[in-house]
A = this chain, B = another copy of it.
Amino acid sequence: MTNSAPVGAAAPRMARDPADRRVTVIEVGTRDGLQIESTLVPTARKIEIVNAIIDSGVREIEVTSFVSPKAVPQLADAAEVLEGIRKRPDTYLMALVPNVKAADRAADTPLDGGLLLVSASETHNRKNLNRDIVASLAGMAATADRLRAARIDVMAAIAVAFGCPFEGDVPYAQVVAIARAYADLGVDHITLGDTTGMATPSNVRGLLRALKAALPQVEFVLHLHNTRGVGLANVLVGLEEGVRRFDACAGGLGGCPFAPGATGNICTEDLVYLLQESGWETGVDLERSIGVAMMMEETLGRRLVGQVMRAGPRLKLHAVDAVRTAQG
């Protein structure tokens, strides 16, 4: 499953104009973050948070999910949240829309893009969606039609794309086959979900190369978790492979039911910091992004794992007599 060349030794390919430095940060905290929290966040507070996200300069937001409210009560207010948001002209709101029923619920909201969802492994898909992958894909045409009828863009996500906690490594060919099925539905924006933090520099590079070779017309988005500490390292590899859209959660919200105590999604403000300090343009204001993480922390009443929200930007200087120094 891993490449034969060690990461860092091979020259990266460039997928597009090297002069274009724009990278899009997609905030998914109110969806992937809040769905795993035991706290039920009031609808009005969610709207406040999304408005603060917009004010920070983030333009694309995966706000919520139209899954069954019984399955995920944390997101039962999907429609109300979407309707309450103060959109700017360039704001683009997304949500998971896993089936026709969900598309029906989403149809009359201000949703811009609806994400179809399937898992890359049979076991995870059956556990998550209660059917096999082929049946899941077969059901998607109707969901896509319903979304398009409501003038909502059809997008898609592939969960456990970098490895499954039940099955282990997932063959790249399996992910390519699913992406091709999505592409056949007219989808050109596919999110690769590192659902339980099994992405590594090697398989990020390997899978992206396999996908780009098979489906050069599709834009692949990375949805990385930091479960094993390598989330932002994987971002650098994604950038080298031409990825220009990354999902992230304010404060590093999110998690993995298989790794209690492990961290969740890559952290929005840490990602913004990394990108800005690496010469990329995100349009996001770092201080305001930290402010969103602070709001999340206050809302949930617990300390989040974001680093930049603790340490601050790097050029916030200190008075000489403020503290003792470190040795190395």
- A-side residues, CB < 8 A to B, are 2-12, 14, 18, 21, 28, 31-32, 35-36, 65, 67, 72, 96, 117, 123-124, 127-128, 157, 159, 163, 165-169, 191, 193, 195-198, 200-203, 223, 226-230, 232-233, 235-237, 239-240, 255-263, 267, 270, 273-274, 277-280, 306-308, 310-312, 314-315, 317-320, 322-328
Contacts and interface: CB of A to CB of B under 8 A. Distances in A.
B4 A9 contact: no
A113 to B, nearest CB: 14
A96 B14 CA distance: 43
Given A262-B307, A278-B202, A279-B6, A327 B67 contact: yes
Given A32-B328, A236-B7, A278-B202, A229 B315 contact: no
Contact of A273 (B6, B229, B320): B229
A165 B232 CA distance: 23
A203 to B, nearest CB: 8
- So how many copies of this chain end up in the complex? 2
B201 A278 contact: yes
B307 A228 contact: yes
Contacts of A7: 236, 239, 278-280
Given A3-B279, A5-B18, A223-B328, A323 B258 contact: yes
Contact of A317 (B4, B165, B257, B262): B165
A8 B278 contact: yes
